[in-house]
Chain A
């Protein structure tokens, strides 16, 4: 599996996810600067966490209009897997590649803690190494993780089974406890929790490892 990590000004989990990808694939991913007009041929595109453009204006709003996002959208349309973690998830919703939006946490504060999640889908490349109903623990670290969509969208998202992960104890007010959501084709995933922060024993948890291993198994 060849992976590319898009680096925006203000990305700060780019290195962390690169390490997790390298551990899973045995090869370092390509790091692609947001100004690049083209993407090399890859099997997976990752939008990392952080504060792209300082989260000024709206989280992810400016990054969603970066030059590289045209190429990301084209690849996504062609079925290339796209993973957005935290700020990456926010960028994907701002870019229209995923439904909904991520608002300020209901408690209005940044939250960094490990939360429980339930896996809702195991038939996507991202979740193939999990079981449906499996409960896992992953860290979250965000101020804007409150997933919102209008009723009609939520109905469609639920109806088409696009919810990939749900919070067991909703930390941020997300609609329907949604922590991670897929596009209709199951080829684009956005999630607020950080699997790269739970991918080796030194992290205190390894439940994120399966996400990367599942991708490797599905895409190699």
Chain B
């Protein structure tokens, strides 16, 4: 057997591991000696931004995390909320941005795998996946390749494990050219009295490794995710892990089968920083020590060192602490599912992490100070300068409103995402009541008449212009989307994607967004129960748009009460609820029609948001509403068009007298819903009583969407424009050359002066 000699640890080697010099000094103080190479590796990942949240922690603490429904807030593998009848929903969103840029298929696939494990490790059967994706400019040479790989990776993993991918969002902006965002969310359901936590207990209890074997893949992935990119980032490809969804499926079934017995003390998945973070976190939470025999770890490759075993990010692995004497029960289950099972250590009373291999001790560290003295930074920050107001006079209609609407419906941020979501199995489980394409997905809780409503939302351009309003808007839009299907919003998971926090303006974006989110979460009783922070999303010094993606979860007590966004019958009244001021700053109208990306984003009036949403939910639950859609990107006209397409039914709308058509049709004022009802009288009456502005805009019917009589677009044409853009992009330039131009004229439209 060859003798393993580790490199001597020096300040330079520590710096190569991403430790700043003062962080290395702190490590020396804690250890009282020069750490071993393995110890350095372990501490460098524990103290990485990705694992320690050192730049965001002081601000994350300001988010509201408690509420009547919250069973477990941030700090565990995922958040847990009470959904009644002895059941709990467990959910979280997590980023896999850097790996997905380097190797899109495996990066995205393992992102899905990782977030699934965060949820089933707590005892939940995963019931839904969502994903929030941000790509660069559609004409950037890498964008098509990244979309194709990410979508195939998400589908390849989620479809195989048998968890439906029911929703999400996709945006395009050149700020993501060198740094895409792949944020994956998983939702699971568990018995409320059978939640599994990661806090180890019981000195002498066996520590058990289950799942796939450990290989050299992904070593230092967490450190990679904590640094900026440069042009040579593709050389980091070996740090991207490879996913095996088949093994994950077996792992889900085996873990849930084991959880139905009574043998598990604690369990944690091996995610970022693999065996390091799982063993240290479990022992640390329990205030115990842990001693591991790394010779017992199932390895896929020969001659792996202690360093490599501890830092490997091989996928589909879990670490658990069992009750004493229960190993045989557990082993039988994992044997049945043909998964590795190995007792690799014991809990001790020393408070130390001790790693033995081949008769040598490779690490011997006190755990508590590594956790309690982990670096925390209150980084300097600068507020984003206020943007200027944009008035409608500056940006007149260049053509008739129906032509503007057609252009918006075919623009990258509004065109149909069917090309993406048809590659995801959105129905496996046979409980998907509303899949992709609506305001929120609706997934029935198996065997009940209840359902979860799920959405992900963020409008990064708002966050860039005004982080506070953008943060509040992201929360408000998620809350609105859940409300629009009739659900009661319960809680939030967040995925905060930002640039380099060592730059005060970027740090100011993070601070502003969190402050806005906190205000909205409080006003809307929508606490944050889990989340993830991804910083250093920059390439060659260029930061992404600040992107605090919000994953929202709501509850429908009676799934039969839910409504969709499609018009359902001819002759229904179309009613606008909420206040329209015609806000055009940061609107898609401004960007797509006038090429301007400036102005203030629409302000969020949280009181009005709350009042309007509570009214809409009540109206839906009282059975008065036939369809409902929240107003967001593109404003009223786009919302009406989306409702018409979803229901394959037109409408005839007339604007109120005296309104400015640009702002009314395309303004992006918040706290608004468009709904349909067989009878408007009661709705207008109740809106009046609730102090919510409401007006009837017209009626549904026919095969044409008409605005003010003269602007008519056939649904056939609207659909063609809406559905064409993404498939055409993905078919490539050669295919696009043979297609009709985007400036195609509306048919059947007559002259107009709206």
| A binding-site residues for B, Cβ under 8 Å | 9-10, 12-13, 15-16, 19-20, 49-51, 53-56, 109-113, 139, 141, 143, 194, 196-197, 199, 202-204
Contacts and interface: CB of A to CB of B under 8 A. Distances in A.
Contact of A111 (B161, B422, B430): B422
Interface string B95-124: 000000000000000000000000000000
B730 to A, nearest CB: 10
Interface of B: 152, 155-156, 159-162, 244-247, 249-250, 337-338, 421-433, 444, 559
A9 to B, nearest CB: 6
A112 B427 contact: yes
A109 B337 CA distance: 29
The 10 closest A-B pairs by CB, nearest first: A12-B162, A54-B246, A16-B430, A51-B160, A141-B425, A110-B423, A112-B425, A197-B427, A110-B155, A202-B433
B244 A54 contact: yes
A139 to B, nearest CB: 6
Contacts of A16: 428-430
A176 to B, nearest CB: 24
Contacts of A199: 430
B116 to A, nearest CB: 13
B428 A12 contact: yes
B337 to A, nearest CB: 7
Contacts of B246: 9-10, 51, 53-56
A118 to B, nearest CB: 22
A111 B418 CA distance: 11
A110 to B, nearest CB: 5
Given A54-B160, A110-B424, A143-B159, 7 more contacts: A10-B246, A10-B249, A10-B250, A19-B430, A112-B423, A141-B425, A203-B427
Contacts of A143: 159
A51 B249 contact: yes
B648 to A, nearest CB: 14
A110 B247 CA distance: 20
Contact of B427 (A51, A54, A110, A141): A141
17 contacts: A13-B162, A15-B429, A16-B429, A51-B159, A51-B162, A54-B245, A55-B160, A110-B152, A110-B422, A110-B425, A112-B159, A112-B426, A141-B427, A141-B428, A203-B427, A203-B433, A204-B433
A167 to B, nearest CB: 15
A54 B242 CA distance: 14
Contact of A113 (B160, B245, B422, B428): B422
A9 B155 CA distance: 19
Given A54-B244, A110-B155, A112-B422, A194 B427 contact: yes
Contacts of B429: 15-16
Q: Which of B156, B160, B249, B427 has the most CB of A within 10 A?
A: B427
Contact of A202 (B338, B422, B425, B559): B559
Contacts of B338: 9
Contact of A196 (B152, B250, B426, B430): B430
Nearest to B249: A10
Nearest to B429: A16
A197 B161 contact: no
Contacts, number: 84
Given A51-B245, A110-B155, A112-B422, A12 B427 contact: no
A89 to B, nearest CB: 16
Contacts of A49: 428
A27 B217 CA distance: 47
B338 to A, nearest CB: 7
A128 B313 CA distance: 53
Nearest to A52: B246
Contacts of B423: 109-112
Most buried by B among A49, A141, A194: A141
A49 B161 CA distance: 12
B430 A12 contact: no
Contacts of A204: 433
Nearest to A114: B427
A68 to B, nearest CB: 15
B432 to A, nearest CB: 8
Contacts of B432: 203
B328 to A, nearest CB: 20
A113 B437 CA distance: 13
A139 B425 CA distance: 10
Contacts of B444: 202
Contact of B430 (A10, A20, A110, A113): A20
Contacts of A109: 152, 422-423
B690 to A, nearest CB: 31
Contacts of A12: 160-162, 249, 428
Nearest to B245: A54
B174 to A, nearest CB: 27
A114 B510 CA distance: 42
A203 B425 contact: no
B453 to A, nearest CB: 14
A116 to B, nearest CB: 15
Contacts of A51: 159-160, 162, 245-246, 249
Contacts of A202: 431, 433, 444, 559
A54 B247 CA distance: 8
Contacts of A197: 427, 430
B427 A139 contact: yes
Nearest to B426: A112
Nearest to B163: A12
A116 B337 CA distance: 38
A50 B159 CA distance: 8
Contacts of A50: 162
Contacts of B245: 51, 54
Contacts of A53: 246
Contacts of B421: 112
A97 to B, nearest CB: 24
Contacts of A15: 429-430
Nearest to B425: A141
Contacts of A13: 162, 428, 430
B455 to A, nearest CB: 19
B160 A10 contact: yes
A45 to B, nearest CB: 20
A127 B444 CA distance: 29
A112 B151 CA distance: 13
Contacts of A203: 427, 430, 432-433
A197 B427 CA distance: 7
Nearest to B339: A9
A113 B444 CA distance: 19
Contacts of A54: 160, 244-247, 249
B450 to A, nearest CB: 12
A199 B431 CA distance: 11
A23 to B, nearest CB: 11
A75 B392 CA distance: 75
Nearest to B418: A113
B250 A141 contact: no
Contacts of B431: 202
Q: Which of B156, B159, B337, B433 lies at the interface centre, i.e. has the most chain A CB atoms within 10 A of its CB?
A: B159
A15 B428 CA distance: 10
Contacts of B430: 13, 15-16, 19-20, 196-197, 199, 203
